[in-house]
Amino acid sequence: MTKKNTIIAAVIAFVAGCMGGPSIEALVVRPLSAQQAAAGVQRWEGQCVAMSGRTPESYAVSGTEVMQRMGPEGWDLVAISGAVMCFQRPR
């Protein structure tokens, strides 16, 4: 390219950028504000409970007791890791 063509291309790119910049804003997805996010998002609370016992049978009994206590309060079992049971329920 000649020097003249390079300058013309640079000017065209600059003008196109200046004209197209504001319209690009319409294509950008903005994050929701805290109030907007809170209005449409289900909020959850969680709780983890350690089972007691030293044998597999005692863990089973303890786990059953924990689930029978948590279920009527609206808690759903979401995870078990070792001797810990984690629950969640809507706020």
pLDDT given for residue 39 in this prediction: 66
- The answer as to whether 23 is a domain residue is yes
Could you list the residue range(s) of the whole structural domain that residue 21 is in?
1-30
Taking the whole predicted model, whether its pTM rises above 0.85 is answered as no
Q: What is the mean pLDDT of each run of 10 residues along the chain (91 residues)?
A: 83 76 69 67 89 78 88 93 90 87
Total domains in the fold of the chain: 2
- The answer as to whether 37 is a domain residue is no
How far is the CA of 52 from the CAs of 19, 40, 59, 66, 71, in angstroms? 68, 39, 6, 10, 18
My answer on whether 59 and 24 are in the same domain is no
- The answer as to whether 35 is a domain residue is no
pLDDT given for residue 57 in this prediction: 79
My answer on whether 89 and 64 are in the same domain is yes
- The answer as to whether 8 is a domain residue is yes
CA distance 73 to 89: 9
